[in-house]
């Protein structure tokens, strides 16, 4: 496994390879969900590049950035076990060499100013900035992103189309534990009891899927389970994230949508979503 910390050395190596490349962008604190992305990448390309970079530009809360789990040595050991070809683990000065932002990529307002974007101002601008830089640095043929961050996935797909990036975005299904909780690096910040409580997130999504008319009651019920806040529990179109009117939903399975949720538990923000055809 080759580990690069500079753009120059990474690009020099990749330029000598005449092989297909798949990029798996991560912020470290790797778990089985990331490994599922890596498995897809291996199936698609001859060289897999896993990037590890905690993007401070996508944190609108400095405390959230400071508390985000970071363990590069453990991540590298796990990737070594997975026989990864290349790891790109730059520091802040390599990716963001200036303290001043000269360029910003602003996602379409209709995609950004809802769901997580409503509660995390400039979050997706920060995501797009670093992801676009990674695309330009690595120049992959494929890039793999998880469906757990479905809004992010949707925005990145639009960015790739709009800026004519020469690569294909691959969506990877959400990986869950035995209780249905979506695997996330933030789960490591929860207490053992918090992990048990968090399993109610997936159960709430399933309840909405079965009976969308009771969505508001299901959201209120989560507050009795130990969650301090339900930021949103909504049903939106899968393509453009348009909010759907509950009165217009009938369970005829002809249209594609997603049920989205974000909650606060033990001061940790957790998100999830599932497909919903109506």
Handedness of CA 242, 180, 263, 224 (dihedral sign): positive
Cα of 142 vs its chain's centroid, Å: 16
SS3 call for 16: coil
Matching residue, tokens 């008319």:
213
| Bridge pairing between strands 168-172 and 2-4 | unpaired
SS3 call for 264: strand
SS3 content of the chain, % helix, strand, coil (to 5): 45, 20, 35
Closest CA to 31 of 174, 203, 204: 174
Q: Which is the catalytic residue, given 9, 34, 123, 214?
A: 34
Whether residue 31 lies in the annotated active site:
no
104/112 Cα distance (integer angstroms): 14
Please provide the distance, in angstroms rounded to a whole number, between the alpha carbons at the two ends of the chain: 46
DSSP conformation class of 18: -
Determine contact, residues 142/23, Cβ cutoff 8 Å.
yes
Determine contact, residues 11/108, Cβ cutoff 8 Å.
no
Residues known to be catalytic: 34
């Amino acid at each position: 496994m080759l580990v690069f910390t500079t753009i120059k050395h990474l690009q020099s190596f990749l330029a000598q390879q005449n092989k297909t490349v798949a990029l798996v962008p991560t912020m470290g604190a790797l778990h089985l969900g990331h490994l599922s992305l890596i498995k897809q990448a291996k199936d698609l390309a001859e060289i897999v590049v896993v990037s590890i970079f905690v993007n401070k530009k996508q944190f609108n809360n400095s405390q959230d950035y400071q508390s985000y789990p970071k363990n590069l040595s453990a991540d590298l050991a796990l990737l070594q076990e997975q026989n990864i070809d290349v790891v790109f683990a730059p520091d802040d000065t390599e990716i963001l060499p200036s303290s001043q932002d000269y360029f910003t990529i602003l996602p379409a307002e209709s995609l950004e100013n809802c769901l997580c974007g409503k509660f995390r101002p400039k979050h997706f601008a920060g995501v797009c900035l670093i992801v676009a830089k990674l695309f330009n640095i690595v120049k992959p043929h494929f890039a793999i992103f998880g469906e757990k961050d479905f809004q992010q996935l949707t925005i990145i797909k639009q960015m790739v189309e709009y800026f004519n990036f020469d690569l294909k975005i691959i969506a990877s299904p959400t990986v869950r534990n035995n209780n249905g909780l979506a695997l996330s690096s933030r789960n490591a910040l929860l207490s053992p009891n918090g992990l048990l409580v968090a399993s109610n997130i997936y159960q709430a999504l399933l309840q909405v899927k079965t009976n969308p008319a009771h969505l508001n009651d299901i959201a209120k019920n989560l507050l009795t389970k130990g969650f301090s806040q339900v930021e949103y529990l909504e049903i939106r179109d899968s393509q453009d994230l348009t909010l759907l009117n509950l009165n217009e939903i009938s369970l005829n399975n002809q249209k594609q949508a997603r049920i989205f949720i974000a909650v606060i538990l033990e001061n940790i923000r957790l998100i999830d979503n599932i497909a919903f055809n109506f």
